[in-house]
């Protein structure tokens, strides 16, 4: 008896695989990626009767073994590769009692691979409601397997399932139908050529367009001779196979399943009619969005402020307690604020996913996706891109994490790439101060110019996202089938356990995935802002004190002047000066340059950096606004922040990728540095060009 058996959970999307997985593993699970691709891999441990331990994998949802997406490839590659360390000792096919017919297609295919297979029929709690009756012994006999009729919602049948898994050796491995009948001559020939191989496995290898690098090369070569049939012929045979399978399933269900429609209730039909209505559907959806937003903004403010002030006091405390020195500074000004910069996002991330997973669990999200899909598809996006694009107005990080449920890799990638264009809340402080400086206060039709400008910036952000999606859709040559299965799960009360685990998992994956990168860049930026190469930096206190010796200024003011002098001569300050020639055509001076460089970490740093440079306390907004208003353009004279340079700055911040956290999360989600770097370069270049044109036209 092996102590560790491999169990693979396989099934159509939405049949409850993840719920079964959660029921079996509880908190003993981890989430990663399959090597080299971005499909999520969930695995966990489960203790079974008689001391058997099982290693369980929750495989991506798949409709059949005829791969049409990256997710499905994962399943097939695993099932065809006996040498894979995850190759299942037993396959658990999870099906939904309400969609047995469609679900069983995959089951019969897996049976043909002669892997010991258990059929789980989930959602048994829905049977009474839908008037469904099953003859389990008959089904077990026809399907050549053991069946576990369970409900993860009610926690029923899980123990029986565990027992079945532990006794997997007793399962028959015979196929339940003879697929080779679709072309007996061809299959007999195949069998003769590879007497030691499973014919169905060979057939899959011949017809699939997936990566079979893991399979024996000789076999693949030998198989070439069997690809003599044209692609169209193979396709026709595949269709014949599918039809044959459905015939078998229909016959089986005819006797094994009875549905008494009269006892079924039709609340679902009424709800669907309203929620996917051409007018009401959209209105309800936007109302829900409004609430979602309001909630993300309002309800996370308190915890975020709390985290902010806690980390500020922690850093203050560290400075007071530890001896003065480089290490203390690193800790107090680099590491602690860096950690704070990660933790501060947790409330928004947790909250967004709480709401999204409730919407998903309840079945409502599928209606929204259905509703939006037609519109979004025109731009190369998916109906599921709606949520990320909208959550992006709060923060791009949870938004990009919310793209995970988009099946098509291309659509998901495009959504990830364009989401940072939507106006996130970190842009607001920058927008607000610049708008108040350069946009006149008048009104048109009762609407203030300033408010209109802000709204316009939101629209520009959203428009650019959609437009660049359209371009990316034309440019990106990624083979990724975009399939849209109109499938509406039933309305349900969300399972608390599923919701809680989703929130926990997303938060964890943010903290450990993107967090590391954010922390590292914070430390680097801290170093660049706190050290400088010249005497000007090292002797800042002396220099500033001497030059203001004759003037009567308070010690607080003096400290601010010193900080300003230091920042000016730090590495960041030097960089800001160095890029001045490049940003002068945009209407900026080196001080703005420093603010742009240091706000690479996070846009909202812009205002704070200017405050330091102009040596004003960062919380006195009025003062910094006055200071900015009084700044003179060193070359042209006149105010530095005028209409032309103001608009140019607004546009720069609208388009530039000034957010390392977003870059970190894109790296995490795409599993490569290529996409975040491309995003950084293209968005920055675009921002630069637009800002340049705007300034040159307006000046």
- Least distance from C-beta 270 to ligand GDP, angstroms? 19
103 touches ligand GDP by CB under 6 A? no
With CB under 5 A as the contact rule, which of the stretches 10-18, 99-107, 227-235, 494-502 interacts with Mg ion? 10-18
**Which of the choices Mg ion, ligand GDP, none does residue 495 contact, using the CB cut-off of 5 to 8 A by kind?**
ligand GDP
Cα 23 to Cα 20, 33, 152, 182, 508, distances in angstroms:
5, 21, 7, 40, 20
**Which of the choices ligand GDP, Mg ion, none does residue 303 contact, using the CB cut-off of 5 to 8 A by kind?**
none
- Least distance from C-beta 485 to ligand GDP, angstroms? 12
Name the helix (H) or strand (E) containing 58.
Answer: strand 53-58
**Which of the choices ligand GDP, Mg ion, none does residue 69 contact, using the CB cut-off of 5 to 8 A by kind?**
none
- Nearer to Mg ion by Cβ, of 14 and 315: the residue is 14
- In contact, 182 and 241? CB cutoff 8 Å: yes
- Least distance from C-beta 20 to Mg ion, angstroms? 9
- In contact, 598 and 568? CB cutoff 8 Å: no
Candidates 122, 109, 29; CA nearest to 62 is 109
Secondary structure percentages of the chain, helix, strand, coil, to 5: 65, 10, 25
- Least distance from C-beta 18 to Mg ion, angstroms? 3
d(CA 603, CA 554): 31
- Least distance from C-beta 54 to ligand GDP, angstroms? 18
- Nearer to Mg ion by Cβ, of 112 and 361: the residue is 361
The alpha helices in 476-570, defined as continuous H runs, are 496-509, 515-530, 535-538, 540-547, 555-569
- Nearer to ligand GDP by Cβ, of 61 and 175: the residue is 61
Rounded to an integer, what is the distance from CA 633 to the centroid of its chain? 43
**Which of the choices Mg ion, ligand GDP, none does residue 180 contact, using the CB cut-off of 5 to 8 A by kind?**
none
- Least distance from C-beta 128 to Mg ion, angstroms? 25
**Which of the choices Mg ion, ligand GDP, none does residue 16 contact, using the CB cut-off of 5 to 8 A by kind?**
ligand GDP
Tokens of 513: 């995935």
- Nearer to ligand GDP by Cβ, of 104 and 418: the residue is 104
245 touches ligand GDP by CB under 6 A? no
**Which of the choices Mg ion, ligand GDP, none does residue 142 contact, using the CB cut-off of 5 to 8 A by kind?**
none
Angle between helical axes of 280-299 and 346-362 (0-180°, round to 10): 150
d(CA 515, CA 174): 49
Window 120 to 159, contacts with ligand GDP (CB under 6 A): 122-123, 125-126, 151-153
- Nearer to Mg ion by Cβ, of 18 and 564: the residue is 18
Window 19 to 38, contacts with ligand GDP (CB under 6 A): 19
Q: Which residue is nearest to ligand GDP (CB)?
A: 18
- Other C-beta atoms within 10 Å of 403: how many? 22
* Residue corresponding to tokens 């590879």: 194
- Other C-beta atoms within 10 Å of 46: how many? 21
- Nearer to Mg ion by Cβ, of 18 and 415: the residue is 18
Residue 169 CB contacts under 8 Å (≥ 6 apart), including other chains: 116
- In contact, 130 and 141? CB cutoff 8 Å: no
Candidates 587, 545, 551, 586; CA nearest to 566 is 545
**Which of the choices ligand GDP, Mg ion, none does residue 19 contact, using the CB cut-off of 5 to 8 A by kind?**
ligand GDP
The only residue of 385, 498, 507, 679 in contact with ligand GDP, by rule CB under 6 A: 498
- In contact, 460 and 655? CB cutoff 8 Å: no
* CA–CA–CA angle 355, 282, 277 (5° rounding): 115
- Least distance from C-beta 74 to Mg ion, angstroms? 13
- Other C-beta atoms within 10 Å of 411: how many? 24
Tokens of 261: 């429609």
- In contact, 465 and 419? CB cutoff 8 Å: yes
Over the window 533 to 572, marking each residue x when it contacts ligand GDP by CB under 6 A and - when it does not, the resulting string is ----------------------------------------
- In contact, 132 and 259? CB cutoff 8 Å: yes
Q: Label residues 536-561 b or e (16+ Cβ within 10 Å = b).
A: bbeebeebbeeeeeeeeeeeeebebb
**Which of the choices Mg ion, ligand GDP, none does residue 427 contact, using the CB cut-off of 5 to 8 A by kind?**
none
With CB under 5 A as the contact rule, which of the stretches 11-19, 22-30, 494-502, 671-679 interacts with Mg ion? 11-19
**Burial of 230 from C-beta contacts in 10 A (0-12 / 13-18 / 19+):** exposed
- Least distance from C-beta 24 to Mg ion, angstroms? 13
Tokens of 78: 């695993």
Tokens of 129: 């409601």
- Nearer to Mg ion by Cβ, of 61 and 341: the residue is 61
- Least distance from C-beta 492 to ligand GDP, angstroms? 5
- Least distance from C-beta 86 to Mg ion, angstroms? 17
How many residues comprise the chain?
A: 699
d(CA 607, CA 599): 9
The only residue of 183, 272, 361, 589 in contact with ligand GDP, by rule CB under 6 A: 361
357 touches Mg ion by CB under 5 A? no
The only residue of 7, 10, 16, 349 in contact with ligand GDP, by rule CB under 6 A: 16
**Which of the choices Mg ion, ligand GDP, none does residue 111 contact, using the CB cut-off of 5 to 8 A by kind?**
none
Name the helix (H) or strand (E) containing 160.
Answer: helix 158-166
Over the window 12 to 31, marking each residue x when it contacts Mg ion by CB under 5 A and - when it does not, the resulting string is ------x-------------
- Least distance from C-beta 40 to Mg ion, angstroms? 9
Window 44 to 63, contacts with ligand GDP (CB under 6 A): 61
- Least distance from C-beta 365 to ligand GDP, angstroms? 9
Candidates 416, 412, 418, 410; CA nearest to 476 is 410
- Nearer to Mg ion by Cβ, of 30 and 378: the residue is 30
Concatenate the DSSP letters of all residues of 395-436 into one string. Answer: -HHHHHHGGGG--SHHHHHHHHHHGGGS--TTHHHHHHHHHH
The only residue of 404, 492, 584, 627 in contact with ligand GDP, by rule CB under 6 A: 492
**Which of the choices Mg ion, ligand GDP, none does residue 122 contact, using the CB cut-off of 5 to 8 A by kind?**
ligand GDP
- Least distance from C-beta 162 to ligand GDP, angstroms? 16
Over the window 428 to 467, marking each residue x when it contacts Mg ion by CB under 5 A and - when it does not, the resulting string is ----------------------------------------
Q: Which residues bind ligand GDP (CB under 6 A)?
A: 11, 13-19, 61, 122-123, 125-126, 151-153, 361, 489, 492, 495, 498
Q: Which residues bind Mg ion (CB under 5 A)?
A: 18
């Amino acid at each position: 008896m092996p102590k560790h058996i491999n169990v693979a959970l396989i099934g159509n999307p939405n049949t409850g695989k993840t719920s079964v997985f959660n029921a079996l593993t509880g908190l003993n699970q981890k989430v990663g990626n399959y090597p080299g691709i971005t499909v999520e891999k969930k695995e966990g441990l489960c203790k079974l009767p008689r001391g058997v331990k099982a290693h369980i994998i929750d495989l991506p949802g798949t409709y059949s073994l005829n791969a049409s997406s990256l997710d499905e490839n994962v399943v097939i590659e695993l099932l065809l590769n006996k040498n894979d360390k995850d190759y299942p000792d037993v396959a658990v096919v999870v099906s939904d009692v309400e969609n047995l017919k469609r679900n069983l297609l995959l089951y019969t295919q897996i049976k043909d691979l002669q892997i010991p297979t258990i059929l789980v029929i989930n959602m048994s709690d829905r049977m009474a409601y839908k008037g469904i009756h099953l003859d389990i012994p008959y089904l077990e006999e026809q399907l050549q397997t053991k069946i576990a009729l369970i409900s993860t919602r009610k926690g029923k049948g899980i123990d029986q399932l565990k027992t079945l898994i532990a006794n997997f050796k007793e399962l028959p491995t015979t196929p339940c139908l003879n697929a080779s009948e679709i072309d007996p001559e061809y299959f007999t020939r195949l069998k003769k050529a590879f007497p030691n191989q499973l014919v169905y496995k060979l057939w899959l290898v011949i017809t699939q367009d997936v990566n079979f690098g893991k399979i024996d090369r000789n076999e693949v070569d030998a198989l070439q001779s069997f690809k003599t049939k044209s692609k169209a012929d193979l396709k026709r045979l595949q269709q014949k196979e599918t039809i044959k399978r459905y015939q078998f399933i229909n016959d089986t269900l005819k006797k094994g399943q009875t549905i008494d429609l009269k006892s079924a209730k039709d609340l679902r039909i009424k709800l669907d009619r309203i929620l996917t209505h051409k007018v009401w559907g959209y209105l309800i959806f936007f109302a829900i969005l409004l609430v979602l937003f309001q909630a993300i903004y309002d309800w996370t403010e308190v915890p975020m402020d709390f985290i902010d002030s806690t980390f500020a006091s922690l850093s203050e405390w560290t400075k007071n307690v530890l001896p003065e020195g480089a290490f203390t500074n690193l800790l107090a000004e680099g590491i602690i604020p860096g950690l704070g910069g990660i933790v501060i996002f947790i409330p928004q991330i947790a909250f967004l996913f709480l709401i999204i997973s409730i919407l998903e669990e309840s079945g409502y999200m599928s209606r929204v996706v259905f509703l939006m899909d037609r519109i979004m598809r025109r731009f190369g996006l998916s109906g599921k891109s709606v949520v990320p694009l909208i959550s992006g107005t709060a923060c791009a990080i949870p938004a990009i994490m919310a793209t995970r449920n988009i099946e098509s890799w291309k659509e998901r990638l495009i959504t990830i790439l364009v989401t940072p264009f939507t106006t996130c809340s970190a842009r607001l402080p920058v927008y607000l101060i610049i708008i108040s400086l350069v946009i006149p206060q008048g009104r048109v039709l009762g609407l203030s110019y300033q408010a209109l400008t802000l709204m316009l910036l939101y629209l520009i952000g959203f428009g650019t996202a959609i437009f660049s999606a359209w371009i990316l859709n034309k440019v990106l040559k990624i083979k990724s089938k975009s399939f849209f299965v109109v499938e509406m799960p039933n309305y349900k009360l969300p399972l608390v356990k599923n919701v809680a685990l989703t929130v926990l998992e997303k938060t964890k994956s943010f903290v450990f995935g993107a967090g590391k990168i954010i922390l590292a860049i914070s430390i680097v930026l801290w170093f660049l802002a706190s050290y400088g190469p010249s005497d000007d930096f090292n002797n800042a206190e002396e220099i500033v004190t001497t030059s203001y010796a004759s003037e009567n200024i308070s010690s607080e003011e003096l400290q601010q002047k010193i900080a300003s002098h230091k920042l000016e001569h730090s590495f960041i300050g030097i960089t800001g000066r160095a890029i001045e020639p490049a940003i002068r055509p945009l209407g900026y001076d080196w001080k703005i340059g420093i603010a742009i460089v240091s706000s690479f970490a996070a846009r909202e740093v812009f205002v704070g950096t200017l405050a330091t440079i102009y040596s004003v306390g960062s919380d006195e907004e009025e003062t910094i606004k006055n200071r900015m208003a009084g700044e003179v353009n060193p070359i042209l004279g006149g105010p530095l922040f005028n209409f032309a340079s103001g608009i140019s700055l607004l546009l720069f911040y609208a388009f530039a990728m000034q957010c390392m956290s977003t870059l970190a999360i894109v790296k995490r989600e795409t599993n490569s540095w290529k996409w975040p770097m491309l995003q950084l370069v293209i968005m920055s270049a675009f921002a630069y060009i637009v800002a340049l044109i705007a300034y040159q036209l307006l000046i």
